[in-house]
Amino acid sequence: MGTVPVSRVPARLARFVLRMFRPQVYVTYGLLWTLALESSAVSLTGTPWRPSGATWVRVASVVLALLFLRMLDEQKDLGYDRVHHPDRPLVTGAITTAELRAGMAASTAVVTGLNAALSPAAVLLVLAALGYGLLLAPVEGLSAAVRERPLLGLAVAYPVQVLLGCYVYGSAAAAGTVTADWRGAVLLALCACVFLHFEFARKTAWETRPGERLYSAVLGPRRSAAVTAALAAGAVVCQIVLFLPDGPAGLLPCLTAALPAWGLRRFLTARSGGWPMPAAAGFVAGTHLALTVRAAVLP
């Protein structure tokens, strides 16, 4: 493919974002996750939570970080996509590596500028997440085990999500909005359980096509489903630890656990196909939304 005129790069990046980043999914997730984490952290101090300008900086930063990581994944998965997803933009030439790197550089610059208005700690925390993401490409390139073993790959890649959670919580702590203590670790564990529930759900199926990197291909369908359900249960346990002192009203977000319970029953009785994704997506969105509403409503 020849050199792409500079004037066409923004349009090509925009088409990539609309197709591969799917704003209705990624932006919604980044928004709900950030609001749930910040609002819950503030509510645990006994202070009423209301979104502020700093809140929207954190939301924008998380969304841009997710976009950065999506662009990075497109590049490091190129070899796999050539075989299993030949219609991906980077494979077909609809986007180039240089254009994706330009998008990543622009995202980094915007994120840095936004967080410079908050604190030096916020800048360092968000750049640490992006920096860890950049390290994943050479690690996967050098290690066939990381590339080919789904569980090992998850263990290596997942810390970037933890670092983004630490950015949201840590930047709020640096601003004096929350007081960092043991509950912060439990709150981050709650968010981790919710995310990993969805991650396991989308890679749990009764059948595995050749070359697919499913967790169920390693663990077996039933054990992979058990892990998926256990992660949802872990999120509920974290909520009980954090919010039981608020009484029954504080535990209302736990009701979203009905969705993974239904998903597990549906998966085990069907004996074909994959985990019901509406149940997994509903649990993620419902839990984050319920946590945010809880923090905004309860005194």
Q: CB 282: neighbour CB atoms within 10 A?
A: 17
Summarize pLDDT for 65-80 with one digit per residue, the tens. Answer: 999 999 998 888 777 7
Q: How far apart are CA 108 and CA 72, in angstroms?
A: 12
3-state secondary structure 179-214: CCCHHHHHHHHHHHHHHHHHHHHHCCECCCCCCCCC
Dihedral sign computed on CA atoms, order 24, 74, 103, 164: positive
In degrees and rounded to multiples of 5, residue 274 shows phi and psi of -115, 180
The H or E element containing residue 238 is: helix 221-243
Query: With bands split at pLDDT 50, 70 and 90, how would you rate the model's confidence at 8?
Result: confident
Using CA atoms, how far residue 243 sits from 50, 89, 147, 217, 292, in Å, is 19, 45, 39, 37, 13
Q: How far is CA 117 from CA 67, 111, 122, 262, in A?
A: 21, 10, 9, 45
pLDDT digits (tens, 9 = 90+) for 224-272: 999 999 999 999 999 999 999 888 888 889 999 999 999 999 999 999 9
Per the prediction, the chain carries an average pLDDT of: 91
Residue 299 has what pLDDT? Answer: 60
CB 60 within 8 A of CB 114: yes
- Cβ partners under 8 Å of residue 12, min gap 6: 4, 94, 95, 99
Q: What is the mean pLDDT of residues 172-185?
A: 93
- Quote the pTM value: 0.91
